[in-house]
Structures are given as structure tokens and as C-alpha cells.
Amino acid sequence: MAGMASAGRAEPGDAHHHGGTGQYTVTRATTADIEAQAASLRAWDQVYEQMTPGEFVGSLHELSFAGVQVFREATSQAVHECGSPRNGSRAFGAPVRMEGAARFRGEPADAGALITLGGNDELDFYAPRGFEILALVVDEGALGEHARQVEHRDPATTFEGRSVFRPASERLNRFRHLLGSVLQSVDVNPAALEFGPSQRVLEQTLLTAALDVVSEDDAPAAPSACPSRRHLVDAAQAYMRAHIAEPITVADLCRELGVSRRTLQYGFHEVLGTNPVQFLRAMRLNGVRRDLRSGERPPGSVQDAAARWGFWHLGHFVTDYKRMFGELPSETLRRGGPAGFARGRN
């Protein structure tokens, strides 16, 4: 990993992973040099300058896969950062802590701000002492497509001329929690991201979260006149049944049916009393259960079976599985097929 030689220290967890149908990279580094800190962040062209005297200590925890980058960075001294993220990307940063005031592209940015930078924008950031940030970088084209096809929003209108947003605290905390959870999950169960479905579900989750945190419209969606909500939900269920062996996402349904995520959500709530995320999660949980019980398609480990159905967070998966079926997935695996289940009840 470039720039992480003598001045920095790479942790044992740093690795490139190839497996299943996906590949990803995890970086953990601590540094004692400002230049090593700048170089440790993958795919950014940037220069860091230390602005306050004293010993510098920095750290980075980064996950990178399929055009997505999630990282947590901490710096002990005040730092001026200039440069740019990778071409064709959009970055989002949510400060976690700071001692003093930050300025991003000339605007004040406190702990309640969200900062964002396009791939063609120039990075100009003053971070105070004791600064820590959680950040997400996504492909700008994928974000734009997701905005138009899933959210029915124009991304140019959202981001044009804006570098600092001030989301409602609930939105910002939700965004921070998701990014932190992604990094924690990779530490606990790194093998999950070796599977394409897990990467795809996680990418869709992060794209939705990025658009949610900069959304300023909390008004209810207008009722859908055509198709009717009942017809919409019937069409969604038909698509799900036709793709029962795949980890379908809400974005898939929106693209297939030509409706926004919000319209789909209101339809499911009115017709089924639930939301499409919960409905799809239940379908995916049942998919894992079928795999764990199947003797025809050995699932390997519980983690692998979950990852094949798009569950990238092992802890959340186990909790949801036990709540749904009344037992741990490992217990389902031990019991085996339907005959084993019948014997177990006698």
C-alpha cells in the first residue's frame, strides 16, 4: 500500500481479498508522520500540512470494494488538506469529533455538518486538533443513476454549488452509525464481502444512505395514481417470486417497476402493513434457511450462506434470523433437511 512504509505502521489486518465473486481491500494503519497519513488513504491525490506544533499521530481504517470506499480517519494535530478524491467519485464526510472549528472549501463545518466533494472539485479543508471523521466515497455515475431511477431525484440539483450540508441530527446520526457499522462488520466477518451479492446489497444500502442524508424533503409522498398501490405491490411480489433465488434489493424493484423508493414504501405499508425493506429481508432470511437445510447445495459455513443472500453484517443477520425462526442459524445447519427437523420435534 503506497505511502505506508517507514514513517507509518500497517496493522496485521491490512489485506487484499479475492474470493467468491467479489474482491475488496481492508486497510488499518497508524502513522507518526503527516505525509504518511496523507498517502495511506487509497486513490486520493492529496497533500497534508501540519498546522499546530507537537507530535503527530494519525490512524486510518478503510474498506474499499467495487467503486465504494468507507473509512474512519483520525488526526491529532490541526491539518490543512488539499488535493482531490479519485476522478468520477463523490465523497461524503461526517465529523465524529473535533477540538475547535473546521473549514471546508471556505465554509465553517462543525460536528453537525456533512461535507461533500465531487470528483472534479478541489479539496481545501482545515481540520482542527483532535479531528476524527467517518467518510463514504462512491462512484458519481452510480449515485446519479440511483438518484434518478430509485429516488426519482436530480442529483445535479442536490449538489450543485453546495459543499456543506446541515442534515437533521437523526439523519446525520443514522449515516454515521451505518458507516461505523460497515467497518465494524468487516472486522468481525471479513469473508462476507467475498461474495458478490453482499457487496451489491451493501453498495445499494450506502447509495441510499448518501442520498438520504442530503435530503431536505420529509413531506409524505404524493399518492400514486397509476398504477394503483395494490397493482404495484402485486407486481413487486410477482417480480420477487420470479427471482426467488436472488437477493433482490429495493433498488431492483424500483427500477423494474419504474417507481420511486418512497412510492414503493407507501404502497407496501398500505397493502401489506410493512415496508419493502422488511419484506425483502424476510425473503432473504428464508433463502438462507433453505440453503442451510438443503442437502443438494452444501452451504459451507453459516457466514457463507448469509453472504450469498446479501447479509453483510453477521451480527444483525443472526439477530434477525433468530427473531424470525426461533433458533440460531447454526442450529438450523446442524439439524439438516426437513426430515431432521421432523425428528427433532419428536
Q: Report whether pLDDT(297) > 60.
A: no
Q: Report whether pLDDT(87) > 80.
A: yes
Quick: pLDDT tens for 90-108. Answer: 999 999 999 888 999 989 9
Q: Say if residue 272 is in the same domain as residue 128.
A: no
Residue 32 lies in a domain: yes
How many independent structural domains does the chain possess? Answer: 2
Q: Say if residue 260 is in the same domain as residue 332.
A: yes
Task: Please state which of the ranges 13-17, 128-132, 147-151 shows the lowest mean pLDDT.
Answer: 13-17
Q: Report whether pLDDT(314) > 80.
A: yes
Q: Say if residue 299 is in the same domain as residue 237.
A: yes
CATH (domain of 273): 1.10.10.60
Q: Say if residue 161 is in the same domain as residue 35.
A: yes
Mean pLDDT, residues 76-83 taken together: 95
Q: Say if residue 28 is in the same domain as residue 170.
A: yes
Q: Say if residue 59 is in the same domain as residue 151.
A: yes
Residue 212 lies in a domain: no
* This prediction's pTM: 0.81
Q: Name, of 119-123, 140-144, 301-305, the range with top average pLDDT.
A: 140-144
Q: Say if residue 89 is in the same domain as residue 181.
A: yes
Which has more pLDDT, 344 or 77?
A: 77
Per-chain mean pLDDT for the chain: 85
pLDDT at res. 1 = 30
Q: Say if residue 249 is in the same domain as residue 123.
A: no
SS3 per residue for the chain = CCCCCCCEEECCCCEEEEECCEEEEEEEEEECCHHHHHHHCCCCEEEEEECCCCCCCEEEEEEEECCEEEEEEEECCCEEEEEECCCCEEEEEEEEEEECCEEECCEEECCCCEEEEECCCCEEEEECEEEEEEEEEEEHHHHHHHHHHCCCCCHHHHHCCCCEECCCHHHHHHHHHHHHHHHHHHHHCHHHHHCHHHHHHHHHHHHHHHHHHCCCCCCCCCCCCCCCHHHHHHHHHHHHHHCCCCCCCHHHHHHHHCCCHHHHHHHHHHHHCCCHHHHHHHHHHHHHHHHHHCCCCCCCCHHHHHHHCCCCCHHHHHHHHHHHHCCCHHHHHHHCCHHHHHHHHC
Q: Say if residue 230 is in the same domain as residue 170.
A: no
Residue 13 lies in a domain: yes
pLDDT at res. 214 = 95
Residue 204 lies in a domain: no
Which has more pLDDT, 298 or 68?
A: 68
